[in-house]
Amino acid sequence: MYFQCDNGRCIFDVPGVISWLCDGFDDCGDGSDEANCGNVVTRPPCQPGLWQCDNGGCIPEERRCDGLYDCHDFSDENNCPTN
């Protein structure tokens, strides 16, 4: 459920639900979560009830277009219907 960074920090790692490991962002602050990932960042599809961010992360569907950025790449607030 967690990945321990080289600096001791822990980040989420639940593939298909939420994972900050190998997502293209230095979530650890020391780069250890992006080390040994290869050149291509790949993510499995999200589980039912979750929405997939453009960067491959997963967030609960109800957080899509809620006015708050939940995806690291802010894609959850793109192309939202206007009221």
pLDDT at 12 over 90: no
The architecture that CATH gives domain 45-82 is: Irregular (4.10)
Tell me the pTM.
0.54
Q: What is the rounded distance in angstroms from the CA atom of residue 14 to the CA atom of residue 27?
A: 15
pLDDT tens digits, one per residue of 64-83: 999 999 988 899 999 998 86
Quote the mean pLDDT of the chain.
Answer: 85
Neighbouring residues of 61: CB distance < 8 A, sequence distance ≥ 6: 49, 50, 51
Find, among 36, 51, 45, the residue nearest to 15 by Cα. 45
Q: What is the rounded distance in angstroms from the CA atom of residue 30 to the CA atom of residue 5?
A: 8
Q: Where are the domains of the chain?
A: 2-34, 45-82
Q: What is the rounded distance in angstroms from the CA atom of residue 73 to the CA atom of residue 63?
A: 14
The encoded tokens of residue 56 equal 């491959």
